[in-house]
Amino acid sequence: MRYISTRGEAPPRDFEGVLLAGLAEDGGLFLPESWPVLTASEWRAMRGLPYPELAARILALFTGGQPGEAVLRPLLAEAYAGFGHPAVCPLVQLDHRVFALELFHGPTLAFKDMAMQALGRLFDVTLARRGERVTIVGATSGDTGSAAIEACRDRAAVDIVILHPEGRTSEVQRRQMTTVTSGNVANLAIDGSFDDCQDLVKAMFADAPFRTEMRLAAVNSINWARVALQIPYYVAAALALGAPEREVAFSVPTGNFGNVLAAWAARRMGLPIAQLIVGSNRNDILVRFLANNDMTARAVEPSLSPSMDIQVSSNFERLLFELLGRDPAATAATMRRFRAEGRMPVPDGAWQAATQIFRGFALDDAGTLEEMGRLFRQGYLADPHTAIGTAAARAVPPVDPAIPIVVAATAHPAKFPDAVRRATGLTPPLPLRLADLYERPERLTRLPSDLRAVEGFVRGHVLRNAA
């Protein structure tokens, strides 16, 4: 299995190379050179497997044998052993055709744990085999940072620095990052938006001397391994609901496009997914694109669903590459124009191809609170992001009313207690393992949105740990 850049000017890599590189040298994102496609009998053979074993079987399709399934099985069993539900990601039926796929039973109570807990262990295996050390830098709009820190804390061959937009995450999200005292962990509160944080991370990777000196690696969903590790839970849900004999649909609250891209990848592999619904808040660039081919970036507006407060969805580039017939020159030119002008000129044919699979739905804060209240009255407590997903599932016309629709329930309601309290009158308690989170001391550094300042901090962090 080889991987190529969406922009065509970086050398192909194997899975280990992609895992450690994250972003391609040409600024593009890695994708498989060719997609594995499974037959109906191969999908059926995975029915009833424990989640870690199913995940190992799917991931092995992308690793090219390094590591192979025999290594992945115990690695993933260990990764998911600490999750708070024996099914790892259980399905909960909400009504006659809508199901919640609960992805928040990991250590940081968000769907990012589903990939991150495995990713940290993959880094360990790969770095130990190669005798190398890396510096992970990442940007977070809320959940990625805490999941990455939890996965990488105290790992011998990894330093990690996470950037978050100051004041634009929930308190729980922030504290899950800033109360970790491991020496290899550092948190930066950036004066700006998530898009500013993401731009800083991309700029560090684009700075070739700095990238080489610091041996940079990524855990954001720009890293293909992250996306690959999210594919299995869509497979698990579809198989549980009757695939491959029965089609399913998914509604995914979406910010950086990585989670819904994993569902698209499962479809590309032959899983019978009839429709993918992109749920957004007031930062609705993806919804505007799907409705009117309008991919115009606007100022990021804070909302009750901060993990979706994004205008530049990095993983959309991977879908764009596919929509443009895997033409790297066209993809690179389109992305350059988007960065220069703030508007992405997607050809009508490519846009229409996207709308055959994807639908979009946006919900403002008032509507989000209303949906959270509706779900609560029906017996289900949801966080704001999940509520947007359920509202989208009800609002978008189905391809076929007989097809079940699965909502990606991306975060535990306790991560957003203020919003839950406003919607329901109830303050959701944190699980026991996090019960003292508000009492733990915080450790973070505040910096402007300035590349030189951030690179200086990263270099200092790494050199201190190396001393």
**Residue 412 vs residues 214, 283, 357: alpha-carbon distances, Å:** 35, 22, 28
Buried b (16+ CB within 10 A) or exposed e, 402-426: ebbbbbbbbbbbbbbbebbebbbee
* Residue found under tokens 């060719």: 34
Q: CA 382, CA 10: separation in Å to the nearest integer? A: 42
How many C-beta atoms surround the C-beta of residue 429 within 10 A? 11
Residue spans of beta strands (DSSP E) within 15-60: 30-32
112 among known catalytic residues: yes
Amino acid sitting at position 292: N
Element (H, E) at 189: strand 185-191
CA distances from 365 to 4, 254, 282, 371 (A): 40, 15, 8, 10
Contact between residue 121 and residue 153 where contact means Cβ atoms under 8 Å apart: no
Lateral strand order in the sheet of 273-280: 91-93, 98-102, 405-409, 248-253, 273-280, 358-362
Selected catalytic residue, list 13, 73, 112, 168: 112
- Exposure b/e, 172-193, CB count within 10 A at least 16 = b: bbbbbbbbbeeebbbbbbbebb
Q: How far is CA 200 from CA 64, 295, 308, 338, in A?
A: 32, 22, 18, 17
**Cα–Cα separations (whole angstroms), residue 113 to 89, 177, 386:** 11, 13, 16
Dist CA 162 CA 178 (whole Å): 10
- Class of residue 345 by CB neighbours under 10 A (exposed 0-12, middle 13-18, buried 19+): exposed
**Inter-residue contact 195 to 311 (CB < 8 Å):** yes
371 three-state secondary structure: helix
Three-state DSSP state, 211: helix
The residues that are catalytic are 112
